[in-house]
Every structure is written in C-alpha cells, then in structure tokens.
Amino acid sequence: MKSILRGAILAVALTGAGLGSVIAQKAPDNTPRTSIALEHGSHQLGNRTDLMMESWRNYGLGQFIHWGLYAIPGGHWEGKYYGGAAEWIRSWKDMPNEAYDKLYKEFDPQNFDPKAWAKQAKSMGAKYMIITTKHHDGFCLWPSEYTEYDVTNSPYGKDIIGPLVEAYDAEGIDVYLYFSVMDWNHPGYRSKLETEEDREAYESFKEFTRNQLLELLGLYPTTKGLWFDGTWDAAWKEQAAFADKLETEMREKIPGLIIGSRFRPDDYGNRHFDSNGDLMGDYEQGWERKLPETFEDTKGNDWDCVMTVPENQWGYHSDWRGHVKTSFELIEMLVKSVSLNGNFVMNFGPDGQGSIRQEETQLAAEIGDWMNVNHEAIYGCGYLDWKKQDWGYYTKNRETGKIYMVVFNMPLNGALKVKIPSKVSLGKVSPLENPKTNLEVEEIHRDEYLIHFENQKSSNSPVVIVIEPSFSEKQEGAEYQKAKT
Ligand code: 1KN
C-alpha cells in the first residue's frame, strides 16, 4: 500500500515535470500498481532464487577487510592524532595530499600472511570475505594494467589480491571484491560534471573504471560478487545507462555474480531503490554500521550489515578511542541480522605491516568459540514470524524448519516466554548444547508457553534453545476463558 502510494506520488511529480510517463504494471502478487517507465531501474522484482544467491543468503557471518595505504599512517600524521576514519586521512587538512600520495613508496607489509588470515576467518566462522581491492585513494592492491598506482610499484612489488583469493578459496570461504568507484587518484575523476572539460575527463574515468572491473573479474574468476562503494557523487548519479551496461557485462563475465544495491543509479539518479521503490541489485546495501529494527524495515529484501569494531574505523587506526564493541555485542548483532534475513559482516583493519591487531584477533577467537558450539542457529537460518520476545531472537533453518531461540537476556527466573501461531505445536524443546535434555514447557495461555530453563543456567554466553515444531492440529485441552473487557 505504502509503495503504491509513493509510486503514484512520484509518478505524478515526475510527469508534472515532463520527465517520465506513467504505465500500469502488476506487482509480483498480481495487484496492479502505478509505475514510472524506467530503462535502468530494477530488473528483477523479489529476491533471487538461484543457487549462488541461496549460498549468499545462508552465509550468516562474513569478514570485511579494509587494507590499503592508510594503514601506514594508522590515523596519525607527524605525531598528530586524526579523529576521523583512518582510511579517510588523506582528506584531513593536516595531512597534505602530496604526503599521502607518496605512501605507496613505503608499502611493504612483511607480515602479510594470507593463509593465516584465512585460517583465522575460518575459525571465527566466517563464510565469506570482502576485501578492499581499491579504496577511495585509488591505490590498487592488485597489479592493474590501467594505472601505475598499484602494488607492483610499491616496495612490496607483488599482487595482494591473488594470494588472498587463493588462501580463502582453500578454506572454503567465498571471496567478494570491494571496489570504490570514487577514485581520488585518477585524473579524469570528478564528483560533479559542470563543464564540457569535466564531461570529457569523466569519459576517460568511466572507461578506466570499466577496464579495472573487467580486469579484476578476469584475474580472479572465483570471485563470487562485488561490493561497491563511493557511488554517491552527482557525476556517477548521471551514469544510469553506462552503469547498467557495465553491470550486465560483469554478470556475463561471471555467471551468478552477486552485486548489491550500491552500484548503479536509475534514470533519475535514484540509488539503492529505483524511482518506483524497487531494489536495484541483488541485495540491499544500505545497512552500514546500523541494523534494521523489524522485518518490515527490510521490506523483505536480502541485505547485509557491515560493521566496524570501534564506532567508525574501517582502516587501521593505531589509537582506537571511544567504545570498542565486545564479542557479546557483535554476536548479538550477528544473531539479530540473521533473525531478520540478513548477513552480518565484521570488519578487520590490518596494520601497515600486514598484521591483524590483537583486539580483532581476540574478538575473532571469542566469536569463533561461540560459533563453534552454536553455528547451527546461524548458517542456513533466517527470519521466523513469531512475536519477538524480550529474551532475544528467533532464527529458523530454511531447510529443516528447526527453530532456534538465541537468548541474550536470560530472565532472572529462567522462564522464557514463547507465543506461537495457533496451528503450531512446540514439539521437542532442548538446549542446543544438550540435545538429550527436554526442557519443561508450561502452557500458560492459549498459544503461549513458558520454557523453563532455570536448572540449565550455567554459562554467561548467549544460550541457544532448539525447537522442533510440529504442525499437526492441536489437541483441544485446557479450557480458556475469554476476558470480558
Ligand atoms: C558517511 O560517509 C561515508 C563515506 C564512505 C561513510 C563511509 C564510507 C566508506 N564506506 C565504508 C564501507 C568504508 O569503506 C568507509 O570508508
């Protein structure tokens, strides 16, 4: 209803401005809706159902790695502390661009050990990894034919991405390539196009961007998808046709390739969602450092949440100030993401030598310990439409139908309330760690139960209870009295 209304209002607004025509279309559920004709809007309504996308949907947990030249200053320049995100230090007034642009001459990460990174990610329980091939600064971690500003011209002198892809592939962790369209190094890059000269320059930048993307997919054909960033500029928002064609070319190069909603704008420069409110790309990429509160917030789309460990640091910053998330908080975000049909991607920022900092290593170990025991509640799991309770989150395995209660707020009396749909019976209820134990289930009202966990309380890490529901008609048992209110 909402989107029909929004579409209609937009359509009227746009036709009023003489920009588009209104056509009648049918939504997937066959209800008529008013749509604006778009050449470069969403090309698919509803979530992808192919096997590659199903794998993506079932990952649950991912690892993001932000690594580049910004790791060398690590949030400092000439002894001064930079309070912004470390990977943005080049834009700081206290650090001259010329100084930043010479950093590649110092890039020589002697501790870089891709196999060790991959092993750590594996033991944390990550099913996929996203690596910054090129951040906003334009420095390429792969040998690019199309620029001199790459690893081969650093003292390190060789490819970073290839060995990483190989190491993660060997651990069975799918690799995704982060790519910033915005590029502070390319002479043709513009944030807006004001003059004819700008437009000409930008054409060379577009060609360069296309070359680099096709180059990456050619060099690393096991890539499962691309994670785009830096696509918010006015100049890029005019490139609907170019980006649409390039997206098609990339998809042809690797069939099944997964691309989120941050790549291309539509005909009117709208991003993520086109002018009709339909998602562009395979999943919503708008959940950066934040989470949806409810399933309605996700609009039923696939989505990922990428999250930093401190408040806002992606690249390595040697001096984390402010709150640093604990493994408890990160696990809660992971579970919440899965409970709302999303993937959770935790960021790592290795230092200039290629070492992963102690804080991240510690968190990876703690999350791994929890995942080791409880991964059944994460992998292959998603949203369940039961009323959310204060103790935590439900997840449901998409194949087996098993339901998991992941408890973050254990009530002092150990009694967990569950409210279920009328046609469902709770069936077997047991702790994930102790499947032979049947927990006491007390019916307190029609379709409402207390699961008694008081004799099981022992650990202080989030506990998982497994429900194997049955769908047979319920026995008419207890007498219920309707309150007269
Ligand atoms: C609020 O503006 C921005 C701009 C760029 C916020 C974040 C970002 C980039 N996206 C993250 C995934 C990081 O790469 C960060 O630098």
How far apart (Å, rounded) are the C-alpha atoms in residues 314 and 320? 11
How far apart (Å, rounded) are the C-alpha atoms in residues 238 and 240? 6
Contacts of 233 (CB under 8 A, 6+ apart): 182, 190, 191, 192
Kindly give the confidence (pLDDT) of every residue in the chain, 485 residues in length, as a single tens digit, with 9 standing for 90 and above.
334 334 343 433 433 333 334 444 555 566 556 789 999 999 999 999 999 999 999 999 999 999 999 999 999 999 999 999 999 999 999 999 999 999 999 999 999 999 999 999 999 999 999 999 999 999 999 999 999 999 999 999 999 999 999 999 999 999 999 999 999 999 999 999 999 999 999 999 999 999 999 999 999 999 999 999 999 999 999 999 999 999 999 999 999 999 999 999 999 999 999 999 999 999 999 999 999 999 999 999 999 999 999 999 999 999 999 999 999 999 999 999 999 999 999 999 999 999 999 999 999 999 999 999 999 999 999 999 999 999 999 999 999 999 999 999 999 999 999 999 999 999 999 999 999 999 999 999 999 999 999 877 777 899 999 999 998 665 555 566 666 66
Judge whether 339 and 407 are in contact, CB under 8 Å: no
Round the CA-based radius of gyration of the chain to a whole number and report it. Answer: 25
Nearest of 135, 109, 130 to residue 63 by alpha carbon? 130
Ligand 1 atom closest to Cα of residue 136 = 16
CATH code assigned at 136: 3.20.20.80
If asked whether residues 275 and 338 sit together in one domain, one would say yes
Ligand 1 atom closest to Cα of residue 64 = 12
278 lines ligand 1 (CB under 6 A): no
pLDDT at 197: 98
Q: What is the pTM of this model?
A: 0.93
Ligand 1 atom closest to Cα of residue 230 = 5
pLDDT at 472: 67
- In order of 46, 252, 287, the CA distances from 261 in angstroms are 13, 18, 11
If asked whether residues 204 and 297 sit together in one domain, one would say yes
State the DSSP code for 307: E
Judge whether 198 and 240 are in contact, CB under 8 Å: no
If asked whether residues 72 and 28 sit together in one domain, one would say no
How far apart (Å, rounded) are the C-alpha atoms in residues 46 and 42? 10
- The packing angle between helices 358-374 and 327-339, to 10°, is 50
Q: Provide φ and ψ at 310, rounded to 5°.
A: -85, -175
87 lines ligand 1 (CB under 6 A): yes
Tell me whether residue 446 is in a domain.
yes
pLDDT at 480: 61
Tell me whether residue 66 is in a domain.
yes
Judge whether 4 and 276 are in contact, CB under 8 Å: no
Q: Looking at 37-95, which runs of residues are DSSP E strands?
A: 61-65, 76-77, 80-81
- In order of 36, 119, 146, 445, the CA distances from 330 in angstroms are 41, 20, 39, 35
Tell me whether residue 482 is in a domain.
no
pLDDT at 22: 44
3-state secondary structure of 35: strand
Joined together, the tokens standing for residue 312 give: 């806002």
Show the domain range for 12.
2-36
If asked whether residues 408 and 266 sit together in one domain, one would say no
If asked whether residues 286 and 179 sit together in one domain, one would say yes
How far apart (Å, rounded) are the C-alpha atoms in residues 218 and 144? 11
Ligand 1, atom 7, lies closest to the CA of: 288
If asked whether residues 32 and 57 sit together in one domain, one would say no
pLDDT at 389: 98
CATH code assigned at 427: 2.60.40.1180
Ligand 1 atom closest to Cα of residue 66 = 14
Ligand 1, atom 15, lies closest to the CA of: 314
pLDDT at 32: 57
If asked whether residues 354 and 459 sit together in one domain, one would say no
Joined together, the tokens standing for residue 356 give: 């992963």
DSSP 237-262: HT-HHHHHHHHHHHHHHSTT-EE-TT
How many structural domains compose the chain?
3
If asked whether residues 166 and 298 sit together in one domain, one would say yes
3-state secondary structure of 205: helix
Residue for token pair 């809007």: 41
pLDDT at 483: 65
Dihedral sign of CA atoms 315, 316, 318, 319 in order? positive
Residue for token pair 């709150």: 323
243 lines ligand 1 (CB under 6 A): no
Tell me whether residue 118 is in a domain.
yes
